Chain A
């Protein structure tokens, strides 16, 4: 019989504030490894395209300090994936810098491994689009990353790493790497990882508190570290649906997780035991790749209308005002995206993408003024069609990014794509 292995999932979104009480309760259970996910493609292309983090430096430092101190205190590995939101070079470097600063301040000593996830553009050309993704646009891609699997984490741990900070990574790889190294069944390890990567979101009621998974030879047990949250067979089974296109199979770089035989059984009111998932290794690994880049400057106009006649005619008014704006502002290098929200008083958010912020603001200034005074059949509101919450009501909103790559590629070997760097922090 294999001894039990305790895996603590500290956070599914490191940098937004790890709830401290549940995390401390998890540490008190002496886990063999602590893992945290730090990123996702969900927040959109801006973070990958710009190289910026979604989380604030202050909260990122707080959360990294919490998990680093606890892991070093217990002397167990700490694994963090998708560093700095999008997991490209600038995100990884910024995260590593914070880790080094915390280590200096707290006098921590450890072997730090970082794993880069940036994919050379030349390797990406033959990748296949995922879903309804447009053709790839490598020229306009500022950052291109691949989702690494367990293989990369295992290589870093084999090199003696105490702390692994990985660029873009599959959520599962963070939590499954150590169970796989210690010989636990891959189907169980991957299924466990898939559930705990969102911490206590698989519980009733769901939340962001740390969760403990205890893995044994033929099953694993889940327990939220917040006593108010219960991992029930139903809540855990339902989590297989979350953000997945298929509740029965999960595609990973090194194989496919098959959940058709998964069984969920209550141990008690707050804990559920899971067994039965199978792992089908893939002959040739695949890597999901993600790219993003800028395509213009965004500016936005905020205004509203409380006039029922304006609201009733809004769709034609907006088309007329766009036509007027296009007659007055020469050139066709800008796009306008008016959005209307609500009834009673309708809120208008008009987005403009143009080559420069100044040009976008010029376009929106004209659009706003003509919308304010636009005449339409049946109009009563000749003083103005709009209310402005503040002036100027049009604001620059920074560079606009879009996804340029969301593809999958077949590879001969994973290791060369995700190089490990080791540094000893003393």
Chain B
């Protein structure tokens, strides 16, 4: 069984401004990217993150053998109750996805 954490070279998350979260998944080869792309649908990500699927964008970026995922942050960065001001630890739910 292969998980995304085994297949990807980089899985990172960060804010793109205080209202958006962006997750980049980078691969060593195109075949890996395609395998992950088949699984990383917006509905799959929606169930992992609790964000409506139509607000999630999955963008293949082949020049860097990468996939970008963009979704709204549930809490505006720095608001009370926020757990991650920079959004740099929001990639974890993806690591265990079977690819």
Residues on A lying within 8 angstroms of B by beta carbon are 41-46, 130-134, 234, 237-238, 240-248, 262, 264, 295-296, 298, 335, 337, 339, 351, 353, 400-403, 406
B72-99 vs A, CB cutoff 8 Å, 1 = contact: the mask equals 1100111111010110000000000000
Jot down 22 A-B pairs with beta carbons below 8 A, ordered by A. Answer: A41-B17, A42-B77, A42-B86, A43-B86, A45-B77, A132-B19, A132-B76, A234-B64, A238-B64, A241-B61, A241-B68, A243-B16, A245-B22, A246-B70, A247-B68, A335-B81, A337-B81, A400-B80, A403-B78, A406-B17, A406-B18, A406-B76
**Contacts of B64 on A, CB cut-off 8 Å?**
234, 237-238, 240-241, 247
Assess whether A45 is in contact with B19, with CB atoms less than 8 Å apart. Answer: no
Of A131, A240, A248, A264, which one neighbours B20 at CB under 8 angstroms?
A: A131
Of B10, B17, B61, B80, which one neighbours A240 at CB under 8 angstroms?
A: B61
Of B24, B63, B68, B80, which one neighbours A264 at CB under 8 angstroms?
A: B63
Assess whether A245 is in contact with B16, with CB atoms less than 8 Å apart. Answer: yes
Q: Which residue of A lies closest to B88 (CB)?
A: A42
**Contacts of A244 on B, CB cut-off 8 Å?**
16, 22, 68
Q: What CA separation (Å) do A91 and B68 show in the bound complex? A: 34
Q: What CA separation (Å) do A134 and B18 show in the bound complex? A: 11
Assess whether B72 is in contact with A131, with CB atoms less than 8 Å apart. Answer: yes
Assess whether A243 is in contact with B15, with CB atoms less than 8 Å apart. Answer: yes
- A132 and B24 in contact (CB under 8 A), knowing A402-B78, A406-B19? no
Q: Which residue of B lies closest to A353 (CB)?
A: B80
Q: What CA separation (Å) do A222 and B76 show in the bound complex? A: 35
Q: What CA separation (Å) do A406 and B17 show in the bound complex? A: 9
B56-70 vs A, CB cutoff 8 Å, 1 = contact: the mask equals 000101011110101
Q: What CA separation (Å) do A339 and B70 show in the bound complex? A: 25
Q: How far, in Å, is B55 (CB) from chain A's closest CB? A: 8
Of B15, B24, B83, which one neighbours A241 at CB under 8 angstroms?
A: B24
- A245 and B85 in contact (CB under 8 A), knowing A238-B64, A238-B66? no
Of A131, A243, A246, A337, which one neighbours B14 at CB under 8 angstroms?
A: A243
The answer to whether the Cβ of B26 comes within 8 Å of any Cβ in the partner chain is yes
Q: What CA separation (Å) do A130 and B77 show in the bound complex? A: 13
- A242 and B76 in contact (CB under 8 A), knowing A41-B17, A247-B61? no
Q: Which residue of B lies closest to A239 (CB)?
A: B64
Q: What CA separation (Å) do A337 and B86 show in the bound complex? A: 18
Q: How far, in Å, is B85 (CB) from chain A's closest CB? A: 4
Q: Which residue of B lies closest to A46 (CB)?
A: B78
- B1-43 residues with Cβ-Cβ distance < 8 A to A are 10, 14-20, 22, 24, 26
Of B15, B76, B80, which one neighbours A42 at CB under 8 angstroms?
A: B15
- A401 and B78 in contact (CB under 8 A), knowing A41-B18, A243-B22? yes
Q: What CA separation (Å) do A418 and B53 show in the bound complex? A: 40
Q: How far, in Å, is A363 (CB) from chain B's closest CB? A: 14
Q: How far, in Å, is B50 (CB) from chain A's closest CB? A: 14
Of B19, B66, B81, which one neighbours A130 at CB under 8 angstroms?
A: B19
Q: Which residue of B lies closest to A49 (CB)?
A: B78
Q: How far, in Å, is B17 (CB) from chain A's closest CB? A: 6
Q: What CA separation (Å) do A42 and B88 show in the bound complex? A: 10
**Contacts of B20 on A, CB cut-off 8 Å?**
131-132, 245
Of A134, A234, A247, A296, which one neighbours B59 at CB under 8 angstroms?
A: A247
Assess whether B15 is in contact with A351, with CB atoms less than 8 Å apart. Answer: no
Assess whether A131 is in contact with B17, with CB atoms less than 8 Å apart. Answer: yes
Q: How far, in Å, is A235 (CB) from chain B's closest CB? A: 8
Top 7 A-B pairs, shortest CB-CB distance? A131-B19, A44-B78, A238-B64, A337-B81, A237-B64, A245-B16, A45-B78
**Contacts of B80 on A, CB cut-off 8 Å?**
295-296, 298, 335, 337, 351, 353, 400, 402
**Contacts of A44 on B, CB cut-off 8 Å?**
18, 77-78, 85
Assess whether B59 is in contact with A246, with CB atoms less than 8 Å apart. Answer: yes
**Known A131-B17, A406-B17; 9 more pairs at CB < 8 Å:** A45-B18, A45-B77, A237-B63, A238-B64, A240-B61, A241-B24, A264-B63, A402-B80, A403-B79
Q: How far, in Å, is B52 (CB) from chain A's closest CB? A: 11
Assess whether B63 is in contact with A262, with CB atoms less than 8 Å apart. Answer: yes
Q: What CA separation (Å) do A353 and B78 show in the bound complex? A: 13
Q: What CA separation (Å) do A264 and B16 show in the bound complex? A: 24
Q: What CA separation (Å) do A241 and B64 show in the bound complex? A: 9
Q: Which residue of B lies closest to A234 (CB)?
A: B64
**Contacts of A131 on B, CB cut-off 8 Å?**
17, 19-20, 72-73
Q: Which residue of B lies closest to A335 (CB)?
A: B80
Assess whether B66 is in contact with A402, with CB atoms less than 8 Å apart. Answer: no
Assess whether A245 is in contact with B61, with CB atoms less than 8 Å apart. Answer: no
**Contacts of A43 on B, CB cut-off 8 Å?**
85-86
